[in-house]
Amino acid sequence: MAELDQDYTTIPTRYPELADKVAVVTGSSRGIGKGIALRLAKEGMKVVINSRTPEDVAATTEELESYGADVIGVPADQGTTEGVQRLFEATLNAFGTVDLIVNNAADLRRDQFLEADEALLDNQLAANIRGPYLCAQYAARQMRDAGHGGSIVHISSVGGLRAHWRGLPYDMTKGALDTMTRAMALDLARYDIRVNAVAPGATLTERWPDLSHPRMQAVAQRIPLQRFGSGLDIGAAVAFLASADAAYITGQILYVDGGITAQLSPPGQPI
């Protein structure tokens, strides 16, 4: 999809204080996670690319290396204890520290409540809650012990605030992630570790058809800003929350959704 092509040279840089700091981005071999990784690399951060698929991790790592980024790739399932351990062992071996963890990896499937089976529930509890919890815990312990503070950013969803039609168990897990964000922020503030979340709306990834598809045009018309978001839109929010400009922000959910959550009903469909 041409719409997903990112010109690395045109990505803006805003936060020189992020240069040479270390960011782990789960689920970053494609989609939103890749957009986040691109933005953080452009800010000069050392970036850890992660997903469960070794081929995708290798391809994205090689791409960022071609731009001159300081990056490693770690194939691992962040929904398992073993995967989380592997991810952080590789990170510390390569870079010696962690300054930012972005919990982006998730199982995105949604179904009707009476149709969602236990396997889907178990998978989403592992990927969408257990994984972010353990990754944040590993990162926070390292930040605390190193004494340098840091930032944790969870990637949530507008579904954590307002339920999709056909939204389970996904929306439930994102609501839990929002609550986890606030609780973690309170526990970790004493260590100068800030915890926030970014909640994307309709964001263009490989899962969507081409923008010329009638379905895409219909969805865009229901978004106040009349367009889909991009991975770089989400990456910009993550970079801000990790920066010194956000030094007094913790425990917050930032909606990057083109105005979706602000409207009571889509245009032309009044309640």
- Active-site option among 67, 133, 138, 170: 170
**Which residue from 88, 103, 48 is spatially nearest to 70, judged by alpha carbons?**
48
Q: In the 8-state DSSP scheme, what is residue 164?
A: P
CA distances from 141 to 37, 101, 137 (A): 23, 12, 6
Spell out where the chain has E strands: 22-25, 46-51, 71-75, 100-103, 150-155, 193-200, 253-256
Specify burial of residue 214 (Cβ count, 10 A radius: 0-12, 13-18, 19+).
Answer: exposed
Can you list the positions of beta strands (E) in 83-192?
100-103, 150-155
Whether the Cβ atoms of residue 40 and residue 47 lie closer than 8 Å to each other: yes
Strand partners, 198: 155, 254
Catalytic annotation present for 8: no
d(CA 257, CA 238): 14
* Residue positions annotated with a catalytic role: 170
